[in-house]
Amino acid sequence: MSGHPPLFFIALASSWKIFGRSLLTSHVFTLIFGAQGLTFLFKLTKKIFGCKEAATASLLLLSNQLFFAQVGITYISIPLTCLAILTVYTYLNNRNWLFVASATAMLLVKETSIIILLAIIMYDFINSMLDKKKLFLALKRTLFLSLPVIPLVLWYLYHWRMSGWLVNTKLIVNKTRFLGLFLDNSIRYLFFDSSFENVNKVNWIIFLAISMFIFIQIAKRKSLRSEMLFLTIIFLNIGFFSYTDDLPRYFLVMYPFFFVLGARAFVFLSEKSQHKKILLPLMVTAVIFLSVMNYSGHRSTDGWRLESNMEYLDFVKVSQLACQFLEDNYPGHKIIAIFPMDYALRTPWFGYVKKPLCIIPLDEFGLHEDLLIVRTYQSNDLFSRKYFHINPNDLEQIEEFSVKGKKVIIYRKKKHTLTL
């Protein structure tokens, strides 16, 4: 009851009920949403701009390191992205009730997607005013587009009744650094990221192409009405997650629309060139090549950062090695571990162990003599004294596992350790 709205979890649980609770079912579930998202993106882009743009946008999204990584993870990001694309597609095709259905589903998967709906409402209202429609009709249309908010409000009221609280007050965490984070995120997610998060080292090509396209259109006094919805979605998302929280996977929902603009710019620029037959394939190939080259790395950082490309598989591998070692050599020992290793060691369903190992709470460190401690470097490094209240001098290292910079170290508690 303390997490996101329930639709994603209901859908995933339903797939388990029908096809069996397995990792295969879970991954196929995500892959279906990923494939549908690409399909809707193709149709959306073709509707607005044409076939060349549609094919280009789909290829850019498919090869994007963040999209490709998240497709392999059973979580909200890919279903949410698919529903966001479908919502924009149904809106631009004037499929009003399908729009209401898809937008409602989108909000009930993740409440922060209200930013997508807000961008659509703003875009629609401004266009109504530009087309000199009556204010009453524009407001009536706005109310209709806002209908998907009602089920979300009802969900939160139900949540309030069941849990006693309405929203997580810790959600707003960056309000004092909004401007700095907005600029940082604009650079990282749209141009180039040299930080530990490593979200993108490729988008500078797309960003420059979009900038050139917009500059040329403005210089020629051409309308950008078709592009404004996508620009609005992008910058509202960057602004929102600068004010709240800015994990890499949160920004995936805006990438399809960034790639639509990129595809539009690529095709426009290539058609203006003397080498138009080769320029578009060359630009697309360059982006795909650089994206794929950035799938791997040697980062030793938090697990949520590793989700920005395929490096999370390295963490899976090193965790498998550590779990197999513990299961083979210390099956009856009490173990202290933190997320996600505690789940891996006590939940055979995840595939790391065949039988649950004995995981105990951190505060029981001083109550046991024969005790193992698992330090997972990809868990925000919670091994510090601040969290574990354990003196490193009270531990002896018995094994270390490492895969491309990702580490798991296993310690044994020394017998002379005093009770805390």
Domain boundaries, the chain: 7-297, 312-413
β-bridge partners, 94:
none
Q: Are strands 371-376 and 406-413 parallel, antiparallel or unpaired?
A: antiparallel
Distance CA 112, CA 295 (A): 27
Return the ∠ at Cα 70 (arms to 66 and 75), rounded to 5°.
140
- Whole-number pLDDT of residue 192: 95
Residue from 222, 365, 199, 224 nearest 291 by CA = 199
Six token digits for residue 256: 């399809």
- Whole-number pLDDT of residue 389: 59
- Whole-number pLDDT of residue 420: 44
Predicted TM-score of the model (pTM):
0.91
- Whole-number pLDDT of residue 29: 95
For 166, phi and psi rounded to 5 degrees? -90, -55
Location of structure tokens 């899976």 = 316
Residue 92: half-sphere exposure toward Cβ, Cα within 13 Å? 22
**Residue pLDDT, tens place only, 116-163:** 999 999 999 999 988 888 888 989 999 999 999 999 999 989 888 887
Positive/negative CA dihedral, 407, 64, 214, 232: negative
CB 229 within 8 A of CB 307: no
Residue from 259, 215, 272 nearest 84 by CA = 259
Six token digits for residue 287: 């982006």
- Whole-number pLDDT of residue 196: 87
- Whole-number pLDDT of residue 398: 92
**Residue pLDDT, tens place only, 186-207:** 999 999 998 888 999 999 999 9
Six token digits for residue 36: 């549908």
- Whole-number pLDDT of residue 386: 44
CA 339 to mean position of chain CA atoms: 19
Which residues, given as ranges, of the chain have pLDDT below 50?
1, 382-387, 418-420
Distance CA 322, CA 402 (A): 9
For 331, phi and psi rounded to 5 degrees? -65, -25
Distance CA 228, CA 261 (A): 10
- Whole-number pLDDT of residue 68: 96
Task: Name 364's Cβ contacts closer than 8 Å, sequence gap at least 6.
Answer: 334, 336
Q: In 3-state terms, what secondary structure has residue 408?
A: strand
Please count the other Cβ atoms lying within 10 Å of the Cβ belonging to residue 48: 18
Distance CA 332, CA 107 (A): 45
Six token digits for residue 356: 């649950």
Distance CA 2, CA 163 (A): 8
